[in-house]
Amino acid sequence: MKYRSAILIILVILIVDQVSKIYIKTHFYPGLAGQVNIIGDWAKLHFLENEGMAFGMKISQSYWGKLVLTLFRLVAVVAGFFILHNMVKKGYGRGVLLCGSLILAGAMGNLIDSIFYGMIFSESAYHVASFVPWGTGYAPLFHGKVVDMLYFPMVSGHYPQWVPGIGGKEFEFFEPVFNIADAAISTGVLTLVFFQKRLLHREPAPEVKQQKEAVTTS
C-alpha cells in the first residue's frame, strides 16, 4: 500500500465526516427536539455536542483542560502522519496501514471541530446553528465542540434486581452518541486489537521477493 493511497483514504473519511457534521450542525436542533428516526426506534440521528474525546468522554470542562486536549490532538495527528509514512516505507501490510489511516482520519476529523467550529458557527444551545464571520462564533480558537449525531439504542431495559449497586436501574445498548470520526477510530483500533498477529507484519522488500521467486522457480 502506497502512502498516497493512505492519504486518499484519510481524505475520503474526513470529507464524509465533516459534511455530515456541518449538515447536522446547520439543520438540526440539539437533543430530543431535533431527533430523527432512521430505522425504527433503534437507529437515530440525535444531535449532540461534546467538549471532550470520542463518545463524549471528557478530561476537563475548564478552559485549560479543553486547550490541552485540543493541543494533544494536534500533536498526535502531526505525529501520526510521520508514523504512517514511516510504516509505509518499512513495508507494513495493507491491513495495518488501513487501520492506521482510519485512526488518523478520525482523530483529524474531531480535531477540526475542536480547532475551528467555535470560530465559524453560532451557538446551538436553543436553535439551529449557522455560519458566522470568522472569530464571532460561540468559542475561541481551539475550544470548539465536537459534533455527534449517530445514536443506536438497540436494546433497553432494566438490570436484574440481584445485581449489586445497579439492580433495577435502566440500561441501554448502545447509549453513546458518536460521529463518523469516532466510528473510524474505533474500527481501526478494534481491528488492530483483535487481528494484531495477522496485521502487524512487514511485506518483504522487492529484492527479497525476487530472490524467493528465483529460488522457487529454479
DSSP codes of every residue in 33-44? GG-EEEETTTEE
| Average pLDDT score, the chain | 85
Mean pLDDT for the stretch of residues 25-50: 88
* Short-list 181, 177, 201, 141, CA closest to 48: 177
* Short-list 58, 59, 68, 28, CA closest to 44: 28
Mean pLDDT for the stretch of residues 116-133: 92
**CA-CA distance, 197 to 43, in Å (whole number)?**
34
Residue with cell 527479497: 208
% of the chain at pLDDT higher than 90: 54
Containing structural domain, residue 197: 3-217
Specify the pTM.
Answer: 0.81
Angle between helices 3-27 and 94-112 (to 10 degrees): 30
Chain length of the chain: 218
Domain count, the chain: 1
Residue with cell 508514523: 83
Residues marked active site are found at 148, 182
**Does pLDDT of 208 surpass 60?**
no
Residue 121: pLDDT band with limits 50, 70, 90: very high
* Short-list 212, 196, 193, CA closest to 204: 212
